[in-house]
Amino acid sequence: MKILFVGGGMGGTIVANNVARRLAREVRDGKVEITMLSATDQHWYQPGLLYVAFGKMAMNDIVRDQASLLEPGIRFFVDPVEEFELAQNKVRTKGGVVHDYDMLVIATGCEAVYDEVPGLAEASETPYTRDGATRMFKRLRDFEGGKVAVVVGVPHKCPIAPIEITFMLHEFFEKRGIRDKVELKYTYPIARIHNIENIATWAVPEFERMEVDYETFFNMKEVDVENRIVHSEEGTEKEFDLLVAVPPHRGMKVIEENNLGEGGWIPTDRYSLQMEGHDNVYVVGDTSNLPISKTGSTAHFQSEVVGENIASIFRTGSATREYDGKVYCFIEADQDRATNACFNYIDPPEIKAPTKSMHMLKMSYNQWYWSSARGLL
Amino acid sequence: MTSPETPVSEGQPQDLAKLIELAAAISAAQDAMTDDIVTRLASAMGEGMILMDRLTRNQGLMSLLQALNQPAAQDSLECLADALRSGSMMDAVNAKNPKTGGYGGLLRMAKDPDVQDAIYLLARLVKGMNPEGTSKN
């Protein structure tokens, strides 16, 4: 059996390692061939970018060689896919190589896009890209006071990020002793300050305690770079001296270009994680169209289901597990405290009071991520 | 038979005091821990986990460990350790009385029964590592 993994980010890496571990004997005996195609030879711990933006981690702390994270039996090529021919069970890469497969896992992720909001790229800082995180730290370090506006585009990776960024901005300015010179303004596109109701309910008193001004029903329309004003679709506007953006995201262009999903979002069965209409194609991580949070933990829990099912199908002919929508997110609060949100398709999160222990656990996970990527944690 | 108003057992206040003490110790440890300390400890733990995972899933290494557990293998290892120690001593001796080398020295060494035993042992080990053998023309 040939199992092909397209995408070497968190989801692709964990599921490939998961399958390779489960089918180690079969790989060794030549009965199973596992191949991974990626656009890069590097593996980035994306949540770490937030810490880079606030000066808490260095860029080289959050990157490793992709090959070093993979199980020995995985054939790894830095040669991104350009064409998907699902009807023929094959893909064609940028290098012109055709890979056929018996089972395909698409884990191509998604990326921030700025073209939907004119002026956003020029005027804003963001922790969502490598260059952005580096630049944001420098801006924060040099900021002496004024109006800081947080704006949010949808959809985006990491649902907690807008709240977390705001908490961390508050703490950053407090520790620098300039919080009283900063007007911190948070905006969100819908009728409450967060998409997940329990999180919104918990965060409102925290915002009030931190004296964060917030405005809901604020969908970015455009940014007047020269006058430093961000305009909303609703007709309101926010002046800023520093604009921090959670940019809108789209699935990778190769997905849309190959008609796998509008906007780069692949239609996916919410339980089996199979691509709709293709029983031998699985979708893991951000590129699915599932109405769930796009987070690393989502990809992680999905990977476990897909990994087990692929192994089970090979050995017994049928799948054994279903994905229940599980997501787990840490939420950095202030004063070196954190809390967490754990939820699934049925159960909403119950947010507990932030604690130092949870902050320490989050700090620890920033290191243990590499064990997760290897399929160990 | 005790009444419903039986007082709390004598051990409970002491247990509570211990719990409070433990909580205070944990709190003190948390206060002492900086993000850097947590990061270093977690990194060491994470890399340690990965190393253990790799070692325990290396079938060759596990087979070697099992073989080394055998009494005969342990005897051989002890002999090896002794040989290394005596080798060090010989270095000290040779430093005072350096050998001249040459074919004569080689023949004298080959006649030594202990050297012959060692050569036979090495030959058996090498043969064992190549069970299929090599074809001869």
Cβ-based contacts of B49 with chain A (< 8 Å): 368, 371, 376-377
Test the A interface: residue of B35, B37, B51, B52 with most A CBs within 10 Å = B35
Tokens of A210: 């931190």
Cβ-based contacts of A356 with chain B (< 8 Å): 30
Test the B interface: residue of A372, A376, A377 with most B CBs within 10 Å = A376
The percent of residues above 70 in pLDDT, for chain B, comes to 76
Q: Are A366 and B39 an interchain contact pair (Cβ–Cβ within 8 Å)?
A: yes
As a whole number of angstroms, the distance between CA A205 and CA A370 comes to 35
Cβ-based contacts of B53 with chain A (< 8 Å): 374, 376
Separation in Å, CA B25 to CA A368, B19, B28, B29, B49? 25, 10, 5, 6, 27
The percent of residues above 90 in pLDDT, for chain A, comes to 95
Q: What is the least distance, in Å, from the CA of B125 to any CA of chain A?
A: 26
State the DSSP code for A355.
Answer: B
Contact between residue A337 and residue A354 where contact means Cβ atoms under 8 Å apart: yes
Cis amide bond preceding A348, omega within 30: no
Cβ-based contacts of B39 with chain A (< 8 Å): 363-364, 366-367
Q: Are A367 and B42 an interchain contact pair (Cβ–Cβ within 8 Å)?
A: yes
Beta-sheet strand order (sheet of A229-232): A220-224, A229-232, A237-239
**Partners of B78 in the beta sheet?**
none
Largest Cα separation within chain B, whole Å, is: 100
Say yes or no to pLDDT of A114 above 50: yes
Cβ-based contacts of A360 with chain B (< 8 Å): 30, 33, 38
Test the B interface: residue of A363, A365, A372, A374 with most B CBs within 10 Å = A363
Q: What is the pLDDT averaged over residues B60-72?
A: 86
Q: What is the DSSP string of A8-69?
A: -SHHHHHHHHHHHHHTHHHHHTTS-EEEEEES-SEEE-TTHHHHHHTTSS-GGGSEEEHHHH
Say yes or no to pLDDT of A177 above 60: yes
- By C-alpha distance, the chain A residue nearest B58 is A72
Domain map (residue ranges) of chain A: 2-109+252-326, 113-249
Contact between residue A37 and residue A77 where contact means Cβ atoms under 8 Å apart: yes
- By C-alpha distance, the chain B residue nearest A361 is B38
Domain map (residue ranges) of chain B: 14-56, 71-129
> Residue B101 burial (CB < 10 Å; 0-12/13-18/19+)?
exposed
- By C-alpha distance, the chain A residue nearest B31 is A356
Q: Please, which pLDDT band fits residue B137 given cuts at 50, 70 and 90?
A: very low
Q: Please, which pLDDT band fits residue B96 given cuts at 50, 70 and 90?
A: low
Q: Are A364 and B41 an interchain contact pair (Cβ–Cβ within 8 Å)?
A: yes
Contact between residue A193 and residue A214 where contact means Cβ atoms under 8 Å apart: yes
As a whole number of angstroms, the distance between CA B41 and CA B38 comes to 5
CATH architecture of A2-109+252-326: 3-Layer(bba) Sandwich (3.50)
As a whole number of angstroms, the distance between CA B15 and CA B21 comes to 10
> Residue B53 burial (CB < 10 Å; 0-12/13-18/19+)?
middle
Q: What is the least distance, in Å, from the CA of A30 to any CA of chain B?
A: 17
Same fold for the domain at A2-109+252-326 and the one at A113-249? Answer: yes
Say yes or no to pLDDT of B11 above 80: no
Say yes or no to pLDDT of A175 above 80: yes
User: Which amino acid does the sequence have at A6?
Assistant: V
Q: pLDDT averaged over chain B? A: 78
Condensed to tens digits (0 to 9), the pLDDT of residues A255-303 reads 999 999 999 999 999 999 999 999 999 999 999 999 999 999 999 999 9
Condensed to tens digits (0 to 9), the pLDDT of residues A185-236 reads 999 999 999 999 999 999 999 999 999 999 999 999 999 999 999 999 999 9
Q: Are A371 and B46 an interchain contact pair (Cβ–Cβ within 8 Å)?
A: yes
At B2 the pLDDT is 47
CATH superfamily of A113-249: FAD/NAD(P)-binding domain (3.50.50.60)
Whole-structure pTM value: 0.83
Mode of pairing for the β-strands spanning A146-152 and A213-215: unpaired
